[in-house]
Structure 1
Amino acid sequence: MIIWGSGGGVCIAGDAGMRDCPVCQSAQRFDLTVSYRYAHIWYAFSWVTSRRYQAVCSRCHNGVALTKQEFQSRVSKDPIPVMRRRGWLLIPALVGLVIVVGAVQERRQGDDVAASIAAPHAGDIYFADLSKLVKGFDQSPAYGALKLVSADGNMLTFMAAKTAYNKKRSVESDVRSGKAGTDDYYDRDEPMTLSTDQLRQLQSNRVIYDVNHGADTPVAGTTSKAPGGPATASASSTGHGGPSLAADYSRAVMQAVQTNWIRPDNTPASSCKVRVTQQPGGHITGIDIESDCPYDEAGKRSVVNAVRRADPLPYQGYEKAFQSTIVITFASMSDASQP
């Protein structure tokens, strides 16, 4: 909703000296004033629409009109507040800022997608306009997720999400919540195979526009993006819904966090525990890395960011298992430990 309107004000610009006031019928001190009207959009973006210059009696406030030239010859600067005169300049400034931020974000997303195509990992989730890739989506655009399952040389196999949206943030919400991390979220009956060249072309055409790095192993026939091997995460909870529900809840939290963990290359083959406090609904209120975590600063930032990206954590359906404090264990295993 656009809020617009108008207003006005009076500014005293200085001393106009002593003059005979016809109302007071005596010599009085007069002030230089400018009365103005302004228009605004959302109150902040404003501009002056009219001015009236006067010499005003300091006693009775009777005014004598002045010309613009007379007024400006006696003052050194415009007394009207700059935001009233130039507030409209914020509009192009904000538009420019939005364009710059959008360009930076698009560049980052493009770099992430290119890196993932060059070194794909099973579990990587690509954000795409599924109406350009999958039959059955009547709306366009239809933003949804593509989950990388496997690869054979330069041919990559994906599962497409069963659900698509007309807004990108809806897909991002599914990924952050962990909903898009489960296989049931995807159509497993109709896998899709694309070459790396096709993926690059889809990225160039902005059909694929972002990627969320999975935490599974590198797919067969590709080079690992992180030489430390597969990354896993586990969550411990002592809820009151019974062992089965508690286990399901821990797995759901693990999946939500695991999907969002972008593990640095030099992460040691060891585990790091993070204590997370949350409110009902899964909204995170605190993240604390336990003191014995062996990761360096980059590794610690990566686990904290993984938890933040998963906010809010899974909650619906796990209310009885919910705990306000849980411990999430991040584990990175070296390739040498793999059978």
Structure 2
Amino acid sequence: MFFISWGSRGAISEVGPAGLRHCLRCDQDSWFTKMVAYRVRHIYWIFRWVTERVPYMICGNCGAEHSADEGDYDSPETKGAISKWDRLGWAIGAGGIGALIATGSVAMAFDKAANQTEIATPRIGDVYETNLAKLVTKPEAPVMFGAMRVVKVSATEVELEVSNTYYTDSRGVERDMREGKTADESYYGGNHLNVPKASLEKMYADGAVTDVSR
């Protein structure tokens, strides 16, 4: 019998010093450090690829997290801070077409399983890639890909804030998620949606929610 070992893990790496800055949380000037959080998916811990990359900064005085500078998302320093083994592990299997096909199939299966788990256990800060057209009675367009972010979780209900823009192609919101734009407060308008926890799973099954970023 043949078994496939696959999974994922989150990791954090230090990028480097961010200079002297003012922290809004502790109201002190202190030396900040640039960091990057990312998720690595794997098969047999040999085939690896990074699926999410979120740079940020931390205050050296109180440890508060702050948004990264605009140029940090795709800077060579941010990318280079991620372990080379995590970034390039996929290349080990590049010579095997059959292995690549299996990797893609397993990755899709893992993504679906991970999404279902994260939908069932929502956390503040989760971002849902959403086809907003499926959530309104009279949508502006047949397809409206945007984002919803979890801002509050109770025992029975989840409060979501809705993005103030949408795309007719999922690649638009996926790009925004990769670049960290969906972590910015200005990405969302004033519309909030309160959804029973039980309804989130149905929204995912119906295709209203298509992906989860945690």
Give the TM-score taking structure 1 as reference length: 0.31
Higher strand share: 2
Greater RCO (Cα-Cα under 8 Å, separation 6 or more): 2
TM-score, normalised to structure 2's length?
A: 0.48
